[in-house]
Amino acid sequence: MYVVIDYSSGVPVYRQVANAIRDDITAGLYQPGAWLPSEAQLSQMYEVGRDTVREALAYLRAEGRITTIRKRGSMVTSEPERKSFTVRRGARAIARMPTPDERRDLATSSELREFGGMPEGVPVFEIIPGPRKHRRILRSDHVELVFDEPASAGDSGQQV
């Protein structure tokens, strides 16, 4: 799709490019598993510099819309099936980027073969249940966090 970049809009140019690519993905122009045009081609399509295209792709990668493979390009990701994970009352859930070891440990076998670990830009949830309990690290693109109901007014606040 052809988009004219509006330099006077107040919206950063890389965001306008990212929005245009996202719109093309949503419209079905690029299906999951399809390769996006190269950085050079995108640069020509939107009449912007390659640094701007790189920023736009980094933005889409952070959203989980694409995965970039060094020396191959950027591919549209598919929406993974999510499983529910209940976060118990009193526990904390922290969103953060994974360590290199966590990227490797949490990757599927195909991701290990293809990327050497989890795709870049996929955050994790660190679940901290409470004293003397083990932390859990979960991929944010594979789980949906469900929080226990808050304590009612008559509840003593103790967990069973």
| CB count in 10 Å sphere of residue 115 | 17
Q: For the whole prediction, is pTM greater than 0.85?
A: no
Where is 87: in which H helix or E strand? strand 83-87
pLDDT at residue 158, rounded to an integer: 39
CATH class, domain 13-76, is mainly alpha
In the beta sheet, which residues pair with residue 125? Answer: 95, 138
Instruction: Give, for all 160 residues of the chain, the pLDDT tens digit.
Output: 567 889 999 999 999 999 999 999 999 999 999 999 999 999 999 999 999 999 999 989 878 789 888 888 999 988 777 889 988 888 889 999 999 899 888 887 777 766 677 877 788 999 998 776 788 899 888 888 998 876 554 444 434 3
CATH 1.10.10.10 domain residues, the chain:
13-76
- Phi/psi for 46 (5° steps) reads -100, 0
Question: How far apart, in whole angstroms, are the C-alpha atoms of residue 60 and residue 54?
Answer: 10
